Structure formats: structure tokens, C-alpha cells
Structure 1
Amino acid sequence: MPRDLVHGHLIPGEISPTRFVPDLIPRPEYVGKPAPQPYTGGDIRTADEISKIREAGKIAAAAIQAVGRQIKPGVTTDFLDKIGHEFVISHGAYPSTLGYRGYPKSLCSSVNEVICHGIPDNTVLAEGDIINIDITAFKDGFHGDTNHTFIVGETSEEISQLVSRTHEAMMRGIRAAMPGRQVNIIGRSIEAYAKRFNYGVVRDFTGHGIGQAFHSGLIIPHYDSAPHYADEIKVGMVFTVEPMLTLGTHEWDMWPDGWTVTTKDKSLTAQFEHTIAVTENGPEILTLFEGGLA
């Protein structure tokens, strides 16, 4: 089990071989390349494009549901990757993370002190752990991106509150995304709420524009970045809101794999994410699945 036996912190584990994707499923352009092509488009999506992002987002959300049903003590994060991978490809979509800048798996599994981008491996989940599952699906040329933090079995009230409050922070950020405002209102809303509980708010990993590109140039901070990040929120914009809150510092370390980000003080951290479209009446969440996780 890849954990530090002295402190119980996560350490790198063994990564299984790359999973197979049928040839008939279209790949994003970056698969097999060191990096995606530079994005040169704008931030506004047409109604047809938003419809396609919504369809991809529903697949990603349903895949997270399928993975969530398998989360329990004794399960490995690699097994969860298998569940997510098979669900996405069974719906004719491509798991966007697989091959993105060399990322080796079909979802991100971030356990306990891992802020984001944890690589599924032979880590065994234990009672009281928390785990974030981040899945993006690529269908009909568009990506839909979402994530959810799950509690493994039973945990403490402090940790349970961190998880539920991180979800509420995301929803507050989403509700703030009204046309005519600046994107920094989203982070201001998130941080104002998180500060009530003395949570750390991760700054260096942000929400992003999404569509035909997995990540466009639009940046959505989750902290109070005013007066910076002053892009106007406009009808037709599509982007993610995905705050990461911690029980300690917002500072972080990176593992040698170049992906796994952990809190510098090893405090626990939770995250939630939705892809949203901005309408005349406000934000619409595109990564919902009927009867599923909000």
C-alpha cells in the first residue's frame, strides 16, 4: 500500500498499463502529442456548441456516479479508473485526460492531502479517506469536465464539513457568474465563504474555459483576485468552476511525476467542479445527470 508508514501520507504507487480505447471513438487532437495545439478561438460558444458540451458533460457526470458507487475501503484508485474508463468509452466518448500532455489515466483520483491531478495507481482506500474523482469526457468534438469529492466509509465531522462546505463554495461561485460582472467575482464569493471557516483556498490551480479545447485561455480564479482577472462574464461563455479548499495552507508541493499536487502541510483538501454556460438569466450547469450528483 503506497503510504508513508510513519505519518500515513500518500506516496507514489504502481501505475498500470494504458487502457484501450476502441479505434472508432474519435480522439482529441492532442492525443499522442507532447501538448495540445495553441488555442486561438474566443470564449463565446454557440447554442449548438453548448448543446454538445452539455452532452459530453452528462457523460462525465454519469461516469462519476458509476465510480462513486464503487468507492469503499479496500478498493484501489486504479480499479476506480477502470470503472470510469469503461463507462466513458461505452457511451462513445473519449476520456479527455488520457494522453493529455502525457497524463497516463482516464480520470484523476486525488486522495486526502492531494489537491488535484492524482494519478490512479495501487493506492488502497481506507475508512475515513476522502477522494476526489475528476472526469472529463470528449464527445462530438467537445469536452465536458466535472469532479466530485467522496467520503470513504465514515469520517470525522471536521472532514465531512470540509467536503460539504467545498461543494457550497462551488455553488456560491457558480451563482455569482452573472453576465456583466467580472470573472473575479467568482473567486471573491468562494473565498469570502471559505474564510468563515479558516479554510485555505488554493490559488494556483484554477477554473478554465472549455469547449473544443480542453483548456482555453480563459482563467477562473477561486480566490479574491480583484482587481486582476477582470474579463467580463458574457452570455455564451462556457467555463469550469472548481474550488479547492484545505484544512490548512493554500501552498502546495508537486510530486516528481509532474502531476500530483499535495498541500505543503499535508492538510486534507476537497474539491468540486462543474462546467457552466452563461445565459441571459445567469449560469446553467452543463455537467448534471438526472437523478445524480449535483
Structure 2
Amino acid sequence: MAERRSPAFQATDKLAFLLSLVPYLMDHDRVTVAEAAAHFGVSEAQIRDAVNLIGLSGVPGDTAAYLHGDLFEVDYDALDRGEIVVMNFVAIDDSPRFSAREAAALIAGLQYLSALPENADRATLAELMAKLSRGASDEPTRVAVEQSASDETVALIRSAMDERLRIDFDYVNAEGEQRRRTVEPLRVESVDATWYLRGWDTDREAPRTFRIDRMSSVARSTAPVTHRPDEVPLSDSLFQGSGDDLVVTIEVAKSALPLLADYVPEGAAATEVEGRVRTSVRVSHYSGLKRLLAGMSGVATVVEPEAARNAVAEWAAAGAAQYRD
């Protein structure tokens, strides 16, 4: 009885299938017909037909004739034994390739991505790194991206979230105060190179945000969580205000105003003053204000209250004194 052919070999799809099969065979020096059929979800007969067609394909030489080396070369003896071995690939090396330096940069980026907890499919990333290494014009420089302590902490938080457990940790706030916290983890997010935990603070009975690099002695609790992530409303903004926040008036360059979007209260007035925008920001304490303005030297100025101006001025003077010493 003839084997029924799957829809994958309809005329409109055959070319796309062959274009996918050739790179697959390049990545596998020796693969069985059954493995290839399982990979593409087609019958073994269809795989054999495709391999036979590949063996009749190539690029003619200058004489417009197919000479030795102008065709894909298939080991038909191996094919009879149920294995696919292509001994010569045509025109593949003529395509543009990444330089060794370009491939090394991409591989380093993929190594970083594979270390992030949310990228669970590390096998796919590893396969892509191997392809980049093989397909470069020269052997890429060997690079490695070292994991940080935050990566390990993020992984532990993720596991606690999966098991719906609370976590305990020591936390140092922006004012340098340390205390033990118990939190029900809801979400892990990153901004630039900094990781944050958003969770339900059991002491304050409210959602709070914690910088993961300020957490230490992190441990999973045996106590189960009482709040599900879909039960606690979290704003799109990473930083959430509270009634205890301090409001500070600043003047900032118009181009830098988007950098403060998370700190500007909803509905805050914004007026232009001598080419700058005067508006207000919300901070939990003046230590947070100093940290915020540290990265905005020359583009942001504190206007009021006087206590905020003095706090920033004293902090800047202390920093300048360190350089003089």
C-alpha cells in the first residue's frame, strides 16, 4: 500500500521545505531518515524524495555545464541504509558571512541572554551560537559572560514564584538602613542593567519594589503566598508612589524630561522657563533624590523646597571634597 504524503509537499510549500532541509543537513553531518522525518513532521518517503532532488541540484559552471563539484553530492549508499550524508554543498560558501569579530559579539550577547532566567529555551540559544561559530568567515574569539550575584538571586526568586512561596531577605534601602523583609514575589523586571523585584510586602501590607542588588541572604520561605500576581494591581511604571512621598520642584532640560517620567506625578504642571521645563517629581526621601540627580548633572536643578536643595548641595560638596583629599 502506498504511503500517504502529507500536505507539507504541496507544490507551493516544496521550495520552502527544501530551503529549510539544506541548512538542517549542514548542521547534522550524519542524520537518519527517521530523525529528519520526525524533525519536519513529514513521512520518511518524502524525506527520501527531497534528498534525491537535492542530489540533482546545483549551480552550473562557466561553461553552463554541470561538472564535478557543481552538484550537491549525496552518499546514496548511506541513504539506502537509512542515513542522510551530504558530502558536497554547492554555493553555500558564496553567501556573505559574519566576520570573526561580528560573530564573537553576537555570541557574547547570546551567552548573556541564555543566563537570564526568563530564557528557558537555552538549547535553542546554544544551537544558534554553534551556527554563528561555524558560519563565520574565521574562528570567532572565545568569549564568556560571567554570571553575577543578581543572576543567582533572580533564579531563586523565580523558583519561589513557581512554587508559590514567600521569600525572606535582608534589604538595604537608599538611606543605608538594613532590615529583614518578607515578600510575596509577584514580578521580576529589569531596567537597563538593574533587576527589580515587585512583590507584596507582608509588613506594610502593600506592593513594593526592591532593587535586587541591594538584597542579601535571600531564602525561600516555607510559608505560601496569599496574593496571586493577577490579584494585585501593578502599574506599568516600575516606581509606585505613596502618600508619604516628598514632592520636589525641579527644572530640567526638555530633552531629559522623559528620563523622569516615572517620578513625575500624574497631572503635574509643566511650564517652560528659559528653555527648561519646570515640573515636580515624587521621591520617597531625599537620599533617593540625590541618587536620581546623580546621573543628570548639568541638565536638572532642584528649585524647592529648601531642604531638598540643601540635601543635594551638601551631597555634591561631600563628593567634591573626596577628590580634593
Alignment TM-score, normalising by the size of structure 2:
0.21
Alignment TM-score, normalising by the size of structure 1:
0.22
Higher RCO (C-alpha under 8 Å, 6+ residues apart):
1
Q: Between Structure 1 and Structure 2, which shows a larger proportion of helix residues?
A: 2
The structure whose Rg is larger is 2
